[in-house]
Structure 1
């Protein structure tokens, strides 16, 4: 841990921000010291994103004051914030896909001499920044759109470092990183704070807060409910109670014998391969069973789901639903057979952000509401409203654009789509990514409820405790291959970590590779 200054570098007092019909911030206080990691916590919708946009100069507060180095300042636009040394890394990365890595790192601050840009110098400087972040393999000349989500996160961090920032805001920086990359991120943060840089760190992963944070501020309903709490000494229970206003036991639903335990598998995957990504993957899932796929980012686990769903065309192997073989690379055939997918990137891959909630829910079931070639809007909205109420969607206003919802509620919309479709197999890729602790508990309960109804569920998660807590059976994936499989209650977190990091042999009691679960 660093030794932060006792004098605040940044002070925000009584910050109020209103939007039509919504008071997003209602008198927020925050102070951040040079050399500290100040963790900003709160449920989705608590006001965290609005507050950091005020700090970044993207929103102007309606009331309140901001001081920087003891002097009052007005952050009228992002350039004003950047000029003071405030850099923001948003959860939804603001990179330009068609430009190179170096162009994105220095966007708006291009390296030039006498008005002539100097790409070689920019490439060299970008390479040095990426090497500092532990990713020298990311080429400065590579097109950003061709990079993985984790590599794009590193590019965004390199851009922040390039600004000689005195305060860096990191919004869910670990969401797309594996455990090794997270540890390297923490080391970068420690190096920054040792140099006197302040970091505002936002995460839903409470264990990270204790590891990297110095102090905590908690927001609830647009207000500061606690500030200056010591990260190392504040219990998880206390943080959750402050965030939610109630005590939530952070536990998984009770695992029961699934209703289809003696039934034939509803999903059968045999010798599935995708050239260059994964090979010879076989597994089966029965009605009511939850199968977990544990592995690092880049191990091939997400691609396995996408191939089963038909979004990628398998090189070899077969997928069967209730004994019926699916045409490879055909999403429509998979959906018709009863397969649903909640993708990892729900905003870019799972939702039509500018469309209303009801259309996002009914998207895969529109034929049900067609009358003479026209959609019955009333029936469509009522069906969506029924699903929204059943899932406790907040607010239950199905005419509202889905982009205005919190992460947890957006995930509920994706799940509602497949509930309405009555799918037989539900594929969930990182179902609680960017979701607060209260909404997580609701999503865990919903997954178990779906299984109890007889749905076969496959869950991919970067959080090994989540896989072990939700699943009945677990496949451990490393380097595109299954390295172990077995009942979740016969595996533990440390052993699974060993397997995904080293591709070691299966644990005693777990089935060896080649035995279909």
Structure 2
């Protein structure tokens, strides 16, 4: 049960040194290190692709490092694959709750270990054990309540208590505040500080840098799969922290950006009025004019992904309206959004963008099957002809229109998704992290296509937290916790934009 306060000379709760992890040709971790002391709340921060998630998978035994060592409390990490031994050392509480919603708190706490010595479960004994466990860590939750009826932070408390009951003294918190309101965050932080005083160590991973300063004593920054700095939080200014994350000095200028164009006065192509989604983002008025690329920048829980899904009809707003060239778009209807002239490039091309066992031609023409033959028929010759023009226009590297998309590289698969989005010649193109998982050359080509769509008189919206995606934009709005906190023209620096996205922007 709860330990006494940790000794200043106690071995580290976890020490990782020289960790290397490769996935094929990709180096996900390049000799990184991390040390978390007992009772410490240690932040690990970095941009997407910095290596944070890979390190978590190494520290929790999900991935075996290619080089380097990990110790817990001075002892070597358990053997790879020994799940029970890893559970006794470390646990991760993810942004998405891992409790089983229809089970009670008690059942979740002791799942798969109700009573090893009996064929039957003693529900009275289970409740008593749960009460003792929760009381031991000061968690005020009814053991017989259904997990789905708990507040978000209460579910997190249950997950933490379950992890501690295995003996783990290191808890990794991965974006723990993403779904919490301000009061919930304060309750969570109060509980974490209480557990720290009992010697429990926390590794805190968050995009919200203000919370790092509120909760943590030490921060480690990774960038491009490498360790950059570890320092006491009190000795690192927010400017220095953002600069370490981006590699961009305070006075540094960014890389290529869209040129500054004339002020556009034409009627907006895409407009939102009072658009809102409860729990995701506050009422928002947007206007995107012909020839303009608008960027919506935001990290986890900023609300920008939900906004994009509402624009294309995948989700229904709580309030407000969307119009395309003055025509109101029916809420929550993908077909109506398509008919109104909205094209969509999804983030997950495999789940939302492609039918992988079908051909390039079939995938590229999914949104225009009504145009490929008379009276609702689809003529193969017209399908091939249409696909061939898209292949040439987007420079898709393929053996031909009949090749299955599963045989293409990631960049060329994404180009097929773009071809599908452009097939109906949309008035407004909405792209959600359009270059996720593609190489640099393909990234430039894909962003060039988005820019070209706007230059030809349409409007485009790029929704992303990847800085390179946002460089083609004429304007960028930074969202944080569901509201716009800053607006930038095309000349922003990496430091300025990241600071706004992480909630420490000067323009808030």
TM, length-normalised to structure 1? 0.62
* Shift in alpha-carbon separation, 1:55–1:332, aligned structure 2, 3 A: same
Matches within 5 A, 1:58-77: 58-77=62-81
**Equivalent residue number for residue 141 of structure 1:** 146
* Shift in alpha-carbon separation, 1:312–1:57, aligned structure 2, 3 A: closer
Which range moves more in the overlay, 192-201 or 15-24? 15-24
Residues 1:173 and 2:173 aligned together: no
Q: Deviations over 1:209-263 (max 9, x none)?
A: 222222222334433333x411121234443444444436699x999998444x4
Q: Is the 8 A contact 2:275 2:284 kept in 1?
A: yes
**Counterpart secondary structure, 1:211:** helix
* Shift in alpha-carbon separation, 1:383–1:217, aligned structure 2, 3 A: farther
Matches within 5 A, 1:338-353: 338-339=341-342
Q: Is the 8 A contact 1:260 1:286 kept in 2?
A: no
Displacement of 1:8 in angstroms is 1.5
Aligned partner of 2:25 among 21, 24, 38: 21
**Equivalent residue number for residue 196 of structure 1:** 199
Residues 1:79 and 2:83 aligned together: yes
**Equivalent residue number for residue 372 of structure 1:** 381
**Counterpart secondary structure, 2:337:** helix
Which range moves more in the overlay, 197-206 or 67-76? 67-76
Q: Is the 8 A contact 2:273 2:285 kept in 1?
A: yes
Which has more radius of gyration? 2
Q: Is the 8 A contact 2:152 2:179 kept in 1?
A: no
* Shift in alpha-carbon separation, 1:214–1:348, aligned structure 2, 3 A: farther
Number of residue pairs matched by the alignment:
435
Cα separation, 2, equivalents of 1:183 and 1:54:
30
**Equivalent residue number for residue 161 of structure 1:** 161
Q: Is the 8 A contact 2:141 2:154 kept in 1?
A: no
Q: Is the 8 A contact 1:102 1:141 kept in 2?
A: no
**Equivalent residue number for residue 43 of structure 2:** 39
* Shift in alpha-carbon separation, 1:284–1:30, aligned structure 2, 3 A: closer
Unaligned residue ranges in structure 1 (runs of 5+): 387-394, 433-438, 452-456, 472-491, 498-517
Q: Is the 8 A contact 1:98 1:143 kept in 2?
A: yes
Displacement of 1:57 in angstroms is 0.9
* Shift in alpha-carbon separation, 1:210–1:271, aligned structure 2, 3 A: closer
Q: Deviations over 1:25-80 (max 9, x none)?
A: 33222221101112223332232222211110111223322222222233423624
Displacement of 1:191 in angstroms is 1.9
Matches within 5 A, 1:86-101: 86-91=90-95, 94=98
Cα separation, 2, equivalents of 1:322 and 1:199:
51
Cα separation, 1, equivalents of 2:469 and 2:130:
44
Q: Is the 8 A contact 1:178 1:462 kept in 2?
A: no
Displacement of 1:416 in angstroms is 5.6
Unaligned residue ranges in structure 2 (runs of 5+): 373-378, 397-408, 417-432, 490-502
- CA-based RMSD of the aligned residues comes to 5.8
**Counterpart secondary structure, 1:419:** helix
Q: Is the 8 A contact 2:102 2:148 kept in 1?
A: yes
Displacement of 1:268 in angstroms is 5.4
Q: Is the 8 A contact 1:213 1:232 kept in 2?
A: no
* Shift in alpha-carbon separation, 1:225–1:284, aligned structure 2, 3 A: closer
**Equivalent residue number for residue 481 of structure 1:** none
Displacement of 1:86 in angstroms is 0.6
Q: Is the 8 A contact 1:340 1:425 kept in 2?
A: no
**Counterpart secondary structure, 2:8:** coil
Q: Is the 8 A contact 2:295 2:462 kept in 1?
A: no
